Amino acid sequence: MNGELPQNNINTKVLRIVLLNGSARVVSTLGGELEMENMLSAYAYHRIITDVNNTPIDYEFIEINSAYARMTGLTQEQLVGRRIMEIQPDIAKAAINWLEFYGHVALSGQPAVIEHYSKSSNQWFLVHAYSPEKGYFVVYFIDVTAIKQRELLLEKRNGLLAKSFEQSAAYGNKLRKQIEKIRNNQELNQGALQKQNEQQITSLAYRDSLTNLPNKNLFLDRLNTSISTSRRTGAKVVVVLVHLNNFNEINHSLGYSLGDKILVEAANKLVSCMRDYDTVARVGDDKFLLLLQNIKHSDELFPIINRINEILGQTYSVEGHSIRITASMAISIYPDDGDNSEEILMNFDKAMVKAKELSKYHYYFYNDKLNEALQQRIKLERCLKRLYITRNLSYTTSPNTKPRQKDCAVFKR
């Protein structure tokens, strides 16, 4: 970068807000179709990557618009799903510490703005960074070259062309006021404008209105990003469909208001079972999708799935009612069960039917080999539970108990 914004590798990310004539306008939604061709500013959407000390060390391109592609000279295929350190390994040598600048925005949630000159394109930019969600940031670039060129021209003439100076100064003052409004917008975000923008962003269709979880659109974005990462790292991506059994009966017998409260509590329980970098999304009245990333081996799944089954089965105390619900789970794994997100999601129907056939406490893998391992694990857990309950220590069977074939013995002290 050599102290300038990279001409072919730019880090940017904008909220779906474009500044037109000094005012902000929301033009699209996260996870939805973007009106990118109508945007005057180039922007890109990123996920920050940190080390064990939570220090930013890289960031990944999630989304860019066509203006950004034209500005960098790179296509979406060359950027989306890749990290800046892959594209530009010498970014740390830049005059501006972009990783620190963007990392502070993504992790603190505080917006920031910086003025930057690109030698390679001979352009001045006003770079705005904003974080719509912790760990993510958007950046958009406003070309202020005309203003800067006027200022430099006026400095060179040094008052020799008074009339031209006055006209240029008037024009420069007009543009400068517009830029000042943009700068002040960061401060106004602390007040009414920030609340207005946050309300607009919150109301966009990438969040479930009841639970505030990601919806299916945002889930698919994250799934596709995870699959792109998996192709490079070799780790598995696991998607779990959780279906709350007979939930309509709760709505019909106790009312939708109470049912909504149970859904919110169930959503919170699911989030508590997941790791920080995993995703829980609500995709239907009684359905949730879970995205588990960076799974090295299928054995890592069993403790997580069992914990979900256990915590969802706990009693819900709502408005004086004690309610127990069960859940069926269908599990599909990339790349074992499909080459892309569409194939992974299509396999859920078969797995869910099997899960419900077993019982309303079961989960089922689309992969037959994993189901065989699952059944062996379930048998082992049943044996251990029986051993714990009877509190027997010796390896002799009870006189009144005859163990079934392929089952575990009852131990007696």
CATH of the domain at 280: 3.30.70.270
In the beta sheet, which residues pair with residue 125? 116, 143
Task: Give the count of beta carbons closer than 10 Å to the beta carbon of residue 2.
Answer: 10
Q: Looking at the predicted structure, is the pLDDT value of residue 367 above 70?
A: no
Q: 49 vs 184, which has greater pLDDT? A: 49
Phi and psi torsions of 268, nearest 5°: -65, -40
Q: Looking at the predicted structure, is the pLDDT value of residue 243 above 80?
A: yes
Residue 18 pLDDT class (50, 70, 90 cuts): very low
CA nearest to 365, candidates 407, 307, 305, 308 = 305
Distance CA(300)–CA(265), nearest Å, equals: 25
Residue 362 lies in a domain: yes
Q: Looking at the predicted structure, is the pLDDT value of residue 342 above 60?
A: yes
Residue 78 confidence (pLDDT): 92
Supply 250's token pair.
Answer: 């709760």
Distance CA(277)–CA(274), nearest Å, equals: 8
Both 197 and 223 in one domain: the answer is no
CB 290 within 8 A of CB 353: no
User: In the predicted model, what is the mean pLDDT of the chain?
Assistant: 75
Both 271 and 228 in one domain: the answer is yes
Residue 12 lies in a domain: no
Q: Looking at the predicted structure, is the pLDDT value of residue 324 above 80?
A: yes
Both 233 and 188 in one domain: the answer is no
Residue at 371: amino acid letter: N
Residues, the chain: 413
Residue 207 lies in a domain: no
Both 282 and 398 in one domain: the answer is no
Which element (helix H / strand E) includes 236? strand 236-244
Residue 92 confidence (pLDDT): 82
Both 119 and 145 in one domain: the answer is yes
Q: Looking at the predicted structure, is the pLDDT value of residue 167 above 70?
A: no
Residue 317 confidence (pLDDT): 85
Stretch 245-272: mean pLDDT, rounded? 90
Q: Looking at the predicted structure, is the pLDDT value of residue 14 above 50?
A: no
Q: 187 vs 162, which has greater pLDDT? A: 187
Both 230 and 340 in one domain: the answer is yes
Q: 393 vs 124, which has greater pLDDT? A: 124
Which among 202, 225, 252 is the end of a domain?
Answer: 202
Name the percent of the chain lying above pLDDT 70.
64
Residue 348 lies in a domain: yes
CB 326 within 8 A of CB 245: yes
Domain that holds residue 402: 381-413
DSSP code for 152: H
Q: Looking at the predicted structure, is the pLDDT value of residue 9 above 90?
A: no
Residue 388 confidence (pLDDT): 52
CATH number for position 185? 3.30.450.20
Residue 29 confidence (pLDDT): 37
Both 230 and 122 in one domain: the answer is no
Both 172 and 45 in one domain: the answer is yes
Residue 190 lies in a domain: yes
Q: Which of 69-83, 262-276, 299-313 has the lowest mean pLDDT?
A: 299-313
Distance CA(109)–CA(129), nearest Å, equals: 10
Both 197 and 220 in one domain: the answer is no
**Whole-structure pTM over 0.85, yes or no?**
no
Residue 204 pLDDT class (50, 70, 90 cuts): low
Which among 148, 178, 202 is the end of a domain?
Answer: 202
CB 403 within 8 A of CB 383: no
Both 275 and 354 in one domain: the answer is yes
Q: Which of 97-111, 192-206, 233-247 has the lowest mean pLDDT?
A: 192-206
Residue 231 lies in a domain: yes
Residue 398 confidence (pLDDT): 43
Q: Looking at the predicted structure, is the pLDDT value of residue 81 above 90?
A: yes
Phi and psi torsions of 391, nearest 5°: 55, 35
Both 195 and 306 in one domain: the answer is no
Q: Which of helix, strand or coil describes residue 205?
A: coil
Structural domain count, the chain: 3
C-alpha torsion angle, residues 358, 328, 32, 343 (rounded to 10)? -20
Both 130 and 230 in one domain: the answer is no
Name the percent of the chain lying above pLDDT 90.
25
C-alpha torsion angle, residues 64, 65, 67, 69 (rounded to 10)? 50
The set of residues, in sequence order, having a beta carbon less than 8 Å from that of 229 and lying 6+ positions away, is 60, 81, 235, 293
Supply 104's token pair.
Answer: 């502070």
Which element (helix H / strand E) includes 118? strand 112-118
Residue 250 pLDDT class (50, 70, 90 cuts): confident
Distance CA(285)–CA(265), nearest Å, equals: 14
Residue 294 lies in a domain: yes
Residue 335 lies in a domain: yes
